[in-house]
Amino acid sequence: MSETQVNIAINGAAGRMGRQLLAAVAERPDTRISAAIDAPGQASIGVDTSVLSGGEATGISVVDSVADALTNVDTIIDFSAPAVTLALLEVIKGSDKRIVIGTTGFTDAQLRTLEKAASDIPIVFAANYSIGVTVALSLLAQAAKALGDDYDVEITEAHHHHKVDAPSGTALAMGNAVADALNRDLKQCAVYGREGITGARDPKTIGFATVRAGDIIGEHTVLYAGNGERLEITHKANDRMTFARGAVRAAHWLSTQSAGLYDMTHVLGLKQHV
């Protein structure tokens, strides 16, 4: 691997994020597309990646088999689906490949498999690669610590109608940031939607509400409601390129890291160690 140029494969290249990732890699002088993979049967298999990204021809065609695609690759950026990501981790185990994972919707058991894989593979895993959300996670913990148990916490998120998991990985990360700051376990205190005669709100809970509509890229609000006042911390993504640029930045940063599980706070230098 050259010291400055990182050779990148995009897994899920034909997806909404995959196309943006191809464009984000092309934007930087220190990253290059070396492979692009999508599912067998996709219309984009065999076409040059520029057809997906709208950029200049790369000479790299989209392939449907990861095993043959990784020869000249340093780092894979994966925005696909949980089972696909885990299969990919199996493929690269014992190799010198690194991986940036943007896929969300993992079960607890799948997350444990991913964490185990990081003992052998350098992995960045974040539910949201935007800088704004990474900063918001710190602000949320700070606000929760200061406001304490007297303020009810509710999290609302909205995404486009194609999204398959709910609540979003980002909403869960926000819930975990608040729960940790309040010494609660999100698994015990989360309430995912309400219906019927629910009774009065238990003050120790953290509520989640999900909207799926149209082409909303991603909006999250954490509400802290006390007696006589409300604080809301909101993040709105206007463009998927914000996630794509963050993920490519993570891929470049990862090129000098050893095996371990990292997130965007490490990439941005907000946290030093795994």
Cβ 150 to ligand NAD, closest distance in Å?
33
| Binding-site ranges for ligand NAD (CB under 6 A) | 11-12, 14-18, 37-39, 42, 79-81, 84, 102-105, 126-129, 243
Nearer residue to ligand NAD within complex by CB, 25 or 126 = 126
The end-to-end CA distance of the chain, in Å, is: 24
Burial of 173 per CB tally in 10 Å (0-12, 13-18, 19+)? buried
Nearer to ligand NAD by C-beta: 55 or 105?
A: 105
Of 93, 97, 162, 163, the active-site residue reads: 163
Q: Note if 145 is an active site residue.
A: no
The residues that bridge with 101 in the sheet, in sequence order, are 78, 125
Least separation, in Å, of the C-beta of 70 and ligand NAD? 13
- Which residue number, 151 or 262, has a Cβ lying nearer to ligand NAD? 262
Separation between Cα atoms, residue 218 and residue 175, nearest integer Å:
16
* Shortest Å, Cβ 214 to ligand NAD: 14
- Under a CB-based contact definition with an 8 Å cutoff, are residues 151 and 226 in contact? yes
Instruction: Find the residue with minimal CB distance to ligand NAD.
Output: 15
Rounded least distance, CB 200 to ligand NAD, Å: 34
Nearer to ligand NAD, 88 or 143 (CB): 88
Task: Write down the catalytic residue from 93, 116, 145, 159.
Answer: 159
* Active-site residue flag, 204: no
Nearer to ligand NAD by Cβ, of 137 and 182: the residue is 137
Nearer to ligand NAD, 188 or 234 (CB): 234
The DSSP line for the chain is: --SS-EEEEEETTTSHHHHHHHHHHHH-TTEEEEEEE--TT-TTTTSBHHHHHSSS--S-BEES-GGGT-TT-SEEEE-S-HHHHHHHHHHHTTSS-EEEE------HHHHHHHHHHTTTSEEEE-S---HHHHHHHHHHHHHHHHHGGGSEEEEEEEE-TT--SSS-HHHHHHHHHHHHHTT--HHHHEEE---SS--SPPTT-EEEEEEE-TT---EEEEEEE-SS-EEEEEEE---THHHHHHHHHHHHHHTT--SEEE-HHHHTTSS---
**What's the closest the beta carbon of residue 259 comes to ligand NAD, in angstroms?**
21
Catalytic amino acids?
159, 163
